[in-house]
Structures are given as C-alpha cells and as structure tokens.
Homo-oligomer: A and B are copies of this chain.
Amino acid sequence: MKAEIIAVGSELLTPDNVDTNSLLLTHQLNEAGCQVHLKTVVGDDRDDIARVLREALERSELIIFSGGLGPTEDDLTRNAVAAVLHRRLAIDEGLLEIIRQRFIARGFRMAKINEKQAEVIEGAEVLDNPFGTAPAMWIEEKGRCIVLLPGPPRELQTIFEMSVLPRIRLRSGGMRLVYKSFHVTGITESELDSQIAPIYTDYPQVRTTILAGTRHIAIRLYRWATGEEEPPDIIELSDRLQAALGNSLFSTKGEFMEEVIGSQLRQHGRTLAVAESCTAGMLGMHITRVPGSSDYFKGGILCYSNEAKIELCNVPPELIQKHGAVSAEVAEALACGVRNALHSSIGLSITGIAGPGGGTAEKPVGLVYIGISDGKHTESRHRIMPGERESIRERSTYLALSWLRRFLMRDTVSNP
C-alpha cells in the first residue's frame, strides 16, 4: 500500500521543531507492508491542509494525518478533511459523554471549548484514545483510507498500534518488511563497504544500507516478504555478513556498546571503574544508561585538574611533569589508580585535549589517550579525534568503550 504522512502544526514550520512522529509511523508502516512515498508538513491553515489532502487523494492509498485535533481555534484538521470529502461534521453525543467523563475522572470540569473534540466526520470510525481527549478517526473514501491521529507522541503511538495497524494489516495482503540491523565498530565506512559490497550485491532482493554515526556504523538489511517466515536470501546474507565482519561486529540486535560491555562484565563477574579527564563524566554516564549497571560499575573519578589526578587517582606528580597530563604514561597510571581507588577488577581512563584551547604542535586538539588495566595487564592507546569539542569528547567515550570490549574479549584478561 502506498502511504503518505501529513503532519499538521505551525510549530513544525519554525526553525526549532522537526516532525519526529513520522519516523515511528514510517517504521511501523514499513513493517506492515506500506511504503511511505511522501511526507508533508503543513501549518494550522485550513486551505493548506485541504489542498494537501486533495493532492494526497490523487497519489496515495493511505493518508495519515498527525496533529490539529485539539480543542482550540488553531486545530483545523477535522474541518479541512470534512470539507474536502464533502461530509458533515457533527457532535457525537456518545463521544461527548466519554470526553466529559475523562475530565471528571481527573477532577476537572470539561470546558465548553472541548466540545469541539466530540465533532466527528460523517461516516468516520472513531478510534479510542486512552491517553487524551482528541478523538482519532479512520475514514474510507473511494478506496482510499484517511487516518486522523492526535499530535502528542504517546497518544499517536498508542492509537496507531492499537487501532490503525490492525486495519492496515488486513488491507496490505500479508506483505511486510523484514529488517535486520548490525552494529559495527573499529572500521571506517569505506573499509566496511569495500569489505561487504562483494557479499551484499549477491542479494538484489535485499536492500542493504550503511549508516555511519558517531557511536558506531549500522548496517541495515531490508526485504519485502510475505508470510511469517524469513526469506532464505536474507538469512544467508546475514550469515555471510556476520562471518565477514568478525570482531568488528558487536551486535546483531541493535544494542549499544555499553549494553554489550555490561553483559561481558556481568558474565565474567568483573567490575569496572573509570577515570575521566576531558570527558568529565560522559563515559560514566553512558555506562550507567543500562539499568542494573550498578551490578558491575563501581564508580569513577572526574580528574579534571592535575590535583585530582594526583590526589584521587594516585598519579605520581613527576609523571605529569615529565610526560604531560595527556600522555600514555598518565593514561595508564589513571587506569591503575582508579582501579585501586574503587577496588574494581578493571580500570578505564580517558585523558585528552578537547579544545578549542590547549593544543600545541606536538599535542594538538583532539589528541586523546585511553588507558586500561586489569591489574595484570595495563595498556594505552591514543588517537587524534577530528571535529569540535563535543564531538571529540563523544568519540573518545565511544572509543574507550570499544577498546574495553576488545580487552574483555581477549583470553589474556584474567580475574583479579
């Protein structure tokens, strides 16, 4: 089914807001066998909404509106749709009573203005909205389906999943999009592409995309299919990619690196502590995004000053004097020091120059050292990160996590 999405709201036409509802809708529409071929954002303007709907009716089988169903003067989706379809808009007494009860249940009286929300387009099916008073509608018109959803993401999402998706699945004849995602790290986008292009080009039915982000590279496989079973070609491609990617591949389930590391640490009964200089908390924050991370994360030290490095991480002042705070020696001393200070199995450290100031010819902005120690083995690596201050800090954080994962994978790692 050819679908299009129309987001209504003048706030979506300002420099500050972008329509994100359509991403979730697209994801679920794809899985239900609908391809989104067009998206429009239109302001709270009755003529513009009507015009876009008229055009949509000429090109799409499924038209999904989000927003413009509230109680105020600005909320014009209902009116515009009714006008284009030449249908009446009338108060539905049953719905009015439901809305009134919702207000009472929350301890409010319904204001007169909210009566407007009980207006239903002639012939529309009203879709239940458990989280709000704006009623959603499903309308059929000459073989086209028109869906009106409220803008607040929680309401939109719930109604879409509960009431819209089942109706769409009925109509899409069992086609669905099979989707796989691989997360890869430690390789550049072009290296990756030249490595896997000879493989994925063998499977023309599968669309393969490579998307490089700051955190990792995602390889995505999409394939239209009927029935419940996975098509053999996408299974075969997926197996071949896994074999080719080896250690670069860290998740086939869409996990983030900190989740993978959490499983590794938990599996081996190891604990972790971090010493962060230039990232000053970003590493700890990422590790603890995972619920239950207190099982293996003992804490850390934000050693933003040399004083903190010396006093809290036990780095010898001579080491800083001789090699500088951004050096392999200090990164290793920090990893050992924080491991001891927090009695953890493993210590992980970051020290670098995030800029914009502080760089020299010898040690430029972007130079970052990462240290790891498990008490028996202590090592460090460095890299010069491109980009601005925040980007340097982010890349350093992800690289530290990535190196930690490889460290944990090695046989040489032993329990303390």
Chain A residues packing against B (C-beta within 8 Å): 11-16, 18-20, 22-24, 26-27, 30, 36-43, 45, 48, 51-52, 55, 59, 209, 211, 220, 274, 276, 278-289, 291-294, 297-305, 307-308, 311-312, 341-343, 355-357, 389-390, 393
Contact between chains at B312 and A308 (CB < 8 Å)? no
Contact between chains at A16 and B23 (CB < 8 Å)? yes
Contact between chains at A15 and B39 (CB < 8 Å)? no
Chain B residues with CB under 8 A of A303: 299
Chain B residues with CB under 8 A of A292: 357
Q: How far is the CA of A59 from the CA of B41 in the complex (A)?
A: 14
Q: How far is the CA of A308 from the CA of B280 in the complex (A)?
A: 17
Task: Determine how close the nearest CB of chain B comes to the CB of A72; give it in whole angstroms.
Answer: 13
Contact between chains at A390 and B289 (CB < 8 Å)? yes
Q: How far is the CA of A286 from the CA of B286 in the complex (A)?
A: 13
Contact between chains at A38 and B27 (CB < 8 Å)? no
Contact between chains at A305 and B301 (CB < 8 Å)? no
Task: Determine how close the nearest CB of chain B comes to the CB of A99; give it in whole angstroms.
Answer: 20
Q: How far is the CA of A359 from the CA of B305 in the complex (A)?
A: 36
Chain B residues with CB under 8 A of A38: 13, 40-43, 48, 52
Q: How far is the CA of A211 from the CA of B10 in the complex (A)?
A: 13
In the complex, what residue of chain B is closest to A284 when comparing beta carbons?
B281
Task: Determine how close the nearest CB of chain B comes to the CB of A211; give it in whole angstroms.
Answer: 7
Chain B residues with CB under 8 A of A18: 18-20, 22-23
Q: Give 6 nearest A-B pairs by CB, closest first.
A: A281-B281, A281-B284, A15-B27, A299-B308, A281-B285, A280-B288
**Given A357-B291, A390-B289, also A211-B16 (CB < 8 A):** yes
Most chain-B Cβ atoms within 10 A of its Cβ — which of A23, A287, A288? A288
Q: How far is the CA of A287 from the CA of B278 in the complex (A)?
A: 11
Contact between chains at A304 and B298 (CB < 8 Å)? yes
Contact between chains at B299 and A304 (CB < 8 Å)? yes
In the complex, what residue of chain B is closest to A277 when comparing beta carbons?
B299
Contact between chains at A13 and B42 (CB < 8 Å)? no
Q: How far is the CA of A38 from the CA of B23 in the complex (A)?
A: 18
In the complex, what residue of chain B is closest to A177 when comparing beta carbons?
B15
Chain B residues with CB under 8 A of A15: 23-24, 26-27, 30
Contact between chains at B39 and A13 (CB < 8 Å)? yes
Chain B residues with CB under 8 A of A20: 18
Task: Determine how close the nearest CB of chain B comes to the CB of A191; give it in whole angstroms.
Answer: 17
